[in-house]
Amino acid sequence: GQQVMQIPQYQHVQEGEDFTTYCNSSTTLSNIQWYKQRPGGHPVFLIQLVKSGEVKKQKRLTFQFGEAKKNSSLHITATQTTDVGTYFCAASGAGSYQLTFGKGTKLSVIP
């Protein structure tokens, strides 16, 4: 299956600071998806990126897909306590039904 590396594994920020998590692959991705898992919950789909260089925004969240379609990032501006959780990227190989998840970045927000 597709391999995706995600960094950092943990991030502690003061409320109001920005946060970024990165996802990298050694091969070209057809698309990449991002999910959020709140503590004790299940992963919930946030967004999918398909095009090279694509940038999408959801309020304070900005998602980018690299020009070579081998990396992606999620940036949160001015974090809030409601942003706490683990953020995962996920990708499939071309033509594959498998969806492989990165190990996730666990975000803690200190009030």
Q: Which two tokens stand for residue 107?
A: 């975000």
CA 43 to chain CA centroid, Å, is 12
Q: Which residue among 20, 31, 62, 77 contacts another protein (CB under 8 A)?
A: 31
Site size with another protein, rule: CB under 8 A = 25
d(C-alpha 56, C-alpha 61), whole Å? 8
Site string for another protein, 50-89 (x = CB under 8 A): --------------------------------------x-
- SS3 state of residue 48: strand
Site string for another protein, 34-53 (x = CB under 8 A): -------xxxxx--x-----
Q: Which is nearer to another protein, 19 or 34 (CB)?
A: 34
CB 5 within 8 A of CB 24: yes
CA 5 to chain CA centroid, Å, is 11
Check residue 9 for interaction with another protein (CB under 8 A): yes
d(C-alpha 70, C-alpha 52), whole Å? 9
Q: Site residues (CB under 8 A) for another protein?
A: 1, 6, 9, 30-31, 33, 41-45, 48, 88, 90, 92, 95-104
